[in-house]
Amino acid sequence: MEDSQREQERMIRRHLLEKEELQARIQGMKNSVPKSDKKRRKQLLLDVARLEAEMEQKHRQEMERFQESCPDNGNGNLDSITEDLAKMDLENRPPSVSRAQKRRERRAALQRERQGSIAEVEMEHLASFRREEEEKLAAILGPKNLEMKDIPADRHCMYRAIQDQLVFSVTVESLRNRTALYMRKHVDDFLPFFSDPETGDAYSRDDFLSYCDDIVRKSLWGSQLELRALSHVLQTPIEVIQAESPIIVIGKEYTRKPLTLVYLHYTCNLGEHYNSVRSLEAGAVGGAAPRLF
């Protein structure tokens, strides 16, 4: 029993030493790459994450093999052994309080830096996806003599994009009210498409009517179903252009010139977003003013 415990202590001590050596190696890698070199810094962050994951997996597998070979040793004293060893320096001497505090602060700083690095990589990936999406959309809009027109990224973006396309004055609040009113009047057309996002249960009639109220009161994000209602309210087709999917046309039964929206997946941290379009010659985009009923 004592032999297995000593072996466990030696293994944990080795793990701690290997972690410290890895952190020193990582710090040297970081010092060797200028912060101004974005490409190499990005690759560095990926390499650091890979090295840390590989070491964590290696240590976990070694611990699991040890526990399988010594089932009587158990895990009861593992945490206490690890904690005791972590408080000692590599020469097995009790450190001073100031040195222990410095190590804790250094570990905390490394953890914050690691988290910041992960967030930086994620933002760089998002920016890359965004650029690629915008390039594909420009290739689709160009032959139509159109370009994307930015709409503020808020809960009203779909309605603001519709508002921008119209040749007559209308408020976002009015568009929301008209959308909710139409959906209330045509419950049977919309209710089958609504379900609870958490449970998947179909909406009851009361649930659906409450959702219609929220369109006005809580500024819900607009979806394709709200666009369907708006196409009927405006008696105008609405086409939605996406980078990776065919163009969707809602309200094909109407003959007016379609309103054109652009649907983006990576435009901002909020995720999905609607933009408007405008003519490359800066001409007016939109159809004749329908009668709102």
Cα–Cα distance for residue pair 110/48, rounded to 1 Å: 12
Q: How far apart are the first and last CA of the chain?
A: 85
H/E segment holding residue 149: strand 146-149
Among 171, 172, 135, which Cα is nearest to 156's? Answer: 172
Q: Which residues contact 199 (CB under 8 A, 6 or more apart)?
A: none
Let me know if 62 is exposed, middle or buried by CB neighbors in 10 A (0-12, 13-18, 19+): middle
Among 10, 48, 6, 50, which Cα is nearest to 31's? Answer: 48
| Active site members | 154, 157, 273
Contact assessment for residue 290 and residue 236, using Cβ atoms and an 8 Å cutoff: yes
Tokens describing residue 274: 């609607």
Cα–Cα distance for residue pair 212/186, rounded to 1 Å: 11
Which residue is it, tokens 């027109």? 149
Residue 268: strand pairing partners = 271
DSSP 166: -
Among 223, 225, 248, 222, which Cα is nearest to 237's? Answer: 248
Contact assessment for residue 241 and residue 261, using Cβ atoms and an 8 Å cutoff: yes
H/E segment holding residue 215: helix 205-217
